[in-house]
Structure 1
Amino acid sequence: MAQHETDKVRTVTQDETPDAGWVKLVEAVGARKDQRAFSQLFDHFAPRVKAFLMKSGADAPLAEEVAQDVMATLWHKAHLFDPERASVATWIFTIARNRRIDALRKSRRPEPEELTWGPEHEPDQAETIALQQESEQLGKALATLPEAQRLLIERAYFGELSHSEIAAETGLPLGTIKSRLRLALERLRQEMK
């Protein structure tokens, strides 16, 4: 087989599940540092990560900085991605959430001229551990959902698509999307107890 044929990057097609396509792109980045695969991942996820961060309270400059950091992490750590543990979207948005926590911690640190005398206040480790455990529990709960429900949850909450946008993207009736999301959320609530 010619070298140029092995370097081709597949794009996500309508015939495969969206996550299967994303997994192949992440694997291409992890295995070969494939720039075209990374570009497709970046074009899709970077704006969604930024929107997610802004929705969670970050201002635009911080959201942009954290989104860039998340995508740089994807570039450098794609080889660590395990599709058995989480979908690509869940993995990326978990990185984003963790980077947001790090940014909040960093922003709370006083500047040298603001330092007071006395013992330093330690960051709240319990909150950090609780968030990490919640994230792991959510990842496991998402993995128990049927694929159709999981993909809708990822589009609605991680991809920040409206129900109408999901209907247009998937071709499913709006009522079907709403009922599947409702069922998926109920299952997640049960799993998270």
Structure 2
Amino acid sequence: MTLLIRIRDHKDEAAFVAVFRHFAPRLKSFLMRSGTDAALAEECVQEVMATVWRKAHLFDPSRASVATWVYTIARNKKIDVLRKQKRPEPEDLPWGPEAEPDQADVIGLQQESEQLGAAIAALPEKQRELIEKAYFGDYTHSEIAEQTGLPLGTIKSRIRLALERLRRAMDQK
């Protein structure tokens, strides 16, 4: 978090290099695991990191961890790239007005995203950190155990408990 704050407050290039080195390979792996080819994943990573540099002033550590913030940017960039890829050529466009997306669906997705963000933020700190490392930080349970010094069983138990809390929170719509 300190590195991103240095980028945010002082445009610290050395801090950005460290953030880039940490997140770039993880983001590329994250994007490739979700079905993006290597070249497109690399392009997305470059755009994500450029966005991190340009929009560091928007980072608020009280709202999200650095990993959550960066991976959210990556997810949004991937969606943007996929949308651009699926745009038809002008001659392929159907005639007549396009159907607008169902506003109920759009609102529902926004509400679910907000609800999940709130549920993650409401987790006990120890569980939230492990969820962020496992799902946003691209770490295996074994890698998390090595980083934290906690037994592997403890890592698995805390993640399982956190996922159950998240599931209950999402079911309480």
Asked if TM exceeds 0.5, the reply is yes
- TM norm structure 1: 0.80
Tell me which residue corresponds to 2:56: 78
- TM norm structure 2: 0.89
Matching of residue 154 in structure 1 with residue 137 in structure 2: no
Structure-2 change in CA distance of 1:122 and 1:46 (3 Å): farther
Contact 1:149 1:180 in 2 (8 A): yes
Tell me which residue corresponds to 2:86: 108
Tell me which residue corresponds to 2:8: 30
Structure-2 change in CA distance of 1:134 and 1:65 (3 Å): farther
- Partner amino acid for 1:118? W
Q: CA RMSD in A?
A: 1.9
Tell me which residue corresponds to 1:192: 170
| Counterpart selection for 2:95 from 115, 118, 125 | 118
| Counterpart selection for 2:118 from 136, 140, 144 | 140
Structure-2 change in CA distance of 1:175 and 1:148 (3 Å): same
- Aligned residues with identical type, % of pairs: 63
Structure-2 change in CA distance of 1:42 and 1:53 (3 Å): same
TM-superposition CA deviations, 1:4-56 (whole Å, max 9, x none): xxxxxxxxxxxxxxxxxxx2211111111100111111111111111111111
Structure-2 change in CA distance of 1:134 and 1:118 (3 Å): same
Matching of residue 177 in structure 1 with residue 150 in structure 2: no
CA distance in 1: counterparts of 2:23 and 2:113, whole angstroms: 19
